Amino acid sequence: LCLFLFLFLLTQKKVVRTTTTQQLRMADTASASSGSGSNKQRALEYHIISGHKFFPNATIPQMTKPTQLFIKVKSAAINPVDYKLPTPLLHGKKVGLDFAGVVEKKGDGVEGFEVGDRVFGNVEGPFDASGSLSEYLVADVKNISKIPDFLSFNQAASIPVTYLTSYQAFRDHGFNQGDRMLIIGASGGCGTSGIQLAKAMGSGEIVGICSGKNKQAVLDLGCDKVVDYTCEDVVDVCGEGSFDFVYDTATNSGAGEDYVGKSRQVLRKKGDKRTGEGEGEEKKEGEEKEEGKGKEQEDAGGMYVAINGSAWSWFRCISGIQEGSREHLLMTNFSGNDLKTITDLMGEHNFRPVIDSIFPLTEDGVKRAFDRVKSRRAKGKVVIEVESEFDEEKKEEEEGEKKEEEEKKEEEKKE
């Protein structure tokens, strides 16, 4: 089966590269628009043997749909999924989901965005022709949002996957204002975004699980209490039935973590009174309509939401049979509208993405960046800086000097 898939993918790769004349023209136009002067770029691709391979002369993707934008990438962020996916199925595809950059060309069906806009978001997925760890990419308008002035390219690139995951976990899976929340894996990408968003969305007390060395950083983000997993047990520290919502970003993440059993113990049981704050607050106008819904959620007990899980958990998620239960596995949906909501919350509550480290888009830089993510010691996001603001300033200076030289030569000719 593996041999068949490998041969099939090689065939598909040849078919994709045998593009139509129209697509080649679109690629040339995009390349001319970008000022790159060629149809080649630096990019990281999946490789069946080495996992990833850096190409200094990779092909530049072209727009094929009217709802797409051609974007010059300024920064990209790495997620664990970028190295955990099976590379035999992705051989030759470009790596990376999260990006921030500048629109250089837009399709006829794109509204609300213009050439020159600062944008951020996701490519369609790992099977897409584009990847964020490259100089240029093509993205669909539904997956992107404009970067607000208070965010840099590096900060914006750190948002999409982790913040979308946390935001959708809370919005779509039973979180209520005032809930007492436990965040497992609080110092990682999804953990840090979870703390910030939970605070902004009105959570009650937030307890984080992480190592003692990351305790202060997690407290600074908004956690009220930290459980050090290296020497403490969350059930002993917090007690059974003590949380309304458990957000698990650590179970099944690669080092044998399993917090499912502990989570069941600390979750509020069916029919128990909510442990969170705000129970006695006066209802705002219109909230009476939600009273029945709130009682149903109270009767159901606390909610456990995880970003990873066992094969059975994935089956329950994909088949839909987890609906109505107290344990959910989350599948993140890329959404430009949700990204806009998230940055609005950042502006309103004055918080920013946590960046662990920044590396350049070079063969060595990419290797070090992935080593950092795989080390599981990263506190926040690992970012690849494709083109820094310093590079832009230097380029503008060089272009200015070149223009001055050309004008000087023209004047000498006239003389």
Q: How far apart are CA 245 and CA 182, in angstroms?
A: 6
414 domain residue, yes or no: no
- Does position 31 have pLDDT exceeding 60, yes or no? no
Instruction: Give Cβ neighbours of residue 210 (< 8 Å, ≥ 6 apart).
Output: 185, 186, 187, 191, 218, 226, 228, 229
Asked whether the predicted pLDDT for residue 26 surpasses 60, the reply is: no
Mean pLDDT across 290-303: 55
Same domain, 95 and 233: no
CA 335-105-140 angle, to 5 degrees, is 20
Residue 164: exposed, middle, or buried by beta-carbon count in 10 A (0-12, 13-18, 19+)? buried
84-103 confidence digits (pLDDT tens): 888 788 888 899 999 999 99
Number of other CB atoms surrounding residue 377 within 10 Å? 12
d(CA 109, CA 242) in angstroms, rounded, equals 50
How do residues 178-207 score in pLDDT, each as one tens digit?
999 999 999 988 999 999 999 999 999 999
In this structure, the answer to whether residues 152 and 193 fall within a common structural domain is: no
Listed in sequence order, the residues at least 6 apart from 255 whose beta carbon sits closer than 8 Å to its beta carbon are 376
34-54 tens-digit pLDDT: 445 568 899 999 888 888 899
- Average pLDDT, integer, range 258-284: 73
Sequence-distant (6+) residues with CB within 8 A of 33 are 70, 104, 105
Query: Which of 241, 263, 249 is closest to 162 using CA atoms?
Result: 249
Distance CA 161, CA 334 (A): 8
Position with higher pLDDT, 183 vs 413: 183
Residue 298 has pLDDT above 60, yes or no: no
The full length of the chain comes to 415
Domain boundary among the residues 292, 313, 329 is at 329
The amino acid at residue 364 is: D
Helix axes 336-349, 189-200, angle to 10 degrees: 70
Beta strands, E only, 60-122: 68-78, 98-106, 118-122
Could you tell me if 183 and 201 are in contact, meaning their C-beta atoms sit under 8 angstroms apart?
no
- Expressed as residue numbers, the domain containing 188 is 174-274+300-329
Q: Is 219 found in the same domain as 103?
A: no
Based on the fold, state whether residues 207 and 247 are members of the same structural domain.
Answer: yes
CATH number, residue 264: 3.40.50.720
Q: Which residue has the higher pLDDT, 245 or 315?
A: 245
**CA atoms 250, 256, 260, 265: torsion sign:** negative
**CA-based torsion, 175, 181, 184, 185: positive or negative:** positive
50 and 107 in one domain?
yes
Residue ranges of E strands in 133-288:
136-140, 144-146, 181-184, 206-210, 225-228, 245-248
Kindly indicate the confidence band of residue 320, based on its pLDDT and cuts at 50, 70 and 90.
Answer: confident
- Residue 228 lies inside a defined structural domain of this protein: yes
139 and 221: one domain?
no
User: What H or E segment, with its residue span, contains residue 45?
Assistant: strand 40-47
**Predicted local distance difference test score (pLDDT) of residue 402:** 63
Any domain includes 72: yes
Average of pLDDT values for 124-147? 91
Q: Is residue 13 pLDDT above 90, yes or no?
A: no
Does residue 237 sit within a domain? yes
DSSP state of 107: -
pLDDT of residue 296: 42
How many domains in the chain? 2
Tell me, yes or no, whether 95 and 211 share the same domain: no
pLDDT of residue 295 exceeding 50: no
Same domain, 66 and 116: yes
Based on the fold, state whether residues 316 and 253 are members of the same structural domain. Answer: yes
Task: Please indicate, yes or no, whether residues 316 and 380 belong to a single structural domain of this protein.
Answer: no
Separation between Cα atoms, residue 383 and residue 276, nearest integer Å: 36
DSSP string, 202-235: T-S-EEEEE-GGGHHHHHHHT-SEEEETTT--HH
- Evaluate if residue 155 carries a pLDDT over 80: yes
| 149 inside domain | yes
Work out the average pLDDT over 373-400. 72
Query: What is the percent of the chain with per-residue pLDDT over 70, rounded to a whole number?
Result: 79
Q: b/e for 318-337, b at 16 or more Cβ within 10 A?
A: eeeebeeebbbbbebebbbe
pLDDT at residue 281 above 80?
Answer: no
- Domain-located, residue 94: yes
| 114 inside domain | yes
Cα 307–Cα 313–Cα 318 angle in degrees, nearest 5: 90
Selection from 80-94, 106-120, 320-334, 383-397 with the highest mean pLDDT: 106-120
Q: What are the C-alpha distances in Å from 320 to residues 161, 249, 375?
A: 22, 21, 34
Range of weakest confidence among 206-210, 338-342, 410-414: 410-414
Residue at 234 is within a domain: yes
On whether both 203 and 256 belong to a single domain, the answer is yes
Look up residue 90 and give its amino acid: L
Give the CATH number of the domain where residue 126 resides.
Answer: 3.90.180.10
Q: Is the pLDDT of residue 58 over 70?
A: yes
Whole-number average pLDDT of the chain: 83
Same domain, 230 and 199: yes
The answer, yes or no, to whether residue 61 has pLDDT greater than 50, is yes
Q: Answer with the one of 314, 329, 344 that is the final residue of a domain.
A: 329
